[in-house]
Amino acid sequence: MPDTLEIVSPSLLTSLASLLCEQPEKKTEPKGSTRSSVADLGAWLSDHHLSYREKPFAGGRLFLFDACPFSTAHTDGAYAIQFASGGIFAGCHHNSCGGGTQRWSELRERFEGPVQNRIMKPE
């Protein structure tokens, strides 16, 4: 910090600011999203015979399930998202299915077994 503070022109501040590196846009994910070793969620869902419709979502991919994998009481409302960072969130909008709470770990465990029993595949 200098001994004396002086008022400087806006052009000097602009010049100084131009020396800074541009910060990448920070992407946000919903609370509860998890990083996953599943590189391609669409391929994972297809490999496990879960049918869905896909659309782009916030730089990632949104998968709308044709049937709810969490309940036989309804078919609509279930979804999974794979964010651009690789994080995955899965849930269902129905209150009986948790009302949008994170259920990816549960879904994955249903098809692959508990984490400690999974055979790690090279990516």
Look up tokens 């299915």; give the residue. Answer: 97
- Per-residue pLDDT reduced to its tens digit, 64-121: 999 999 988 888 999 999 999 899 999 999 988 888 889 999 999 998 888 776 665 5
Q: What are the φ and ψ backbone dihedral angles of 41, each rounded to 5 degrees? A: -60, -40
Q: What is the pLDDT of residues 8-38, one digit of tens each?
A: 887 777 777 767 655 555 555 555 555 567 8
Token representation of residue 44: 């994972």
Q: Which amino acid is at 19?
A: L
79, β-bridge pairs = 64, 91
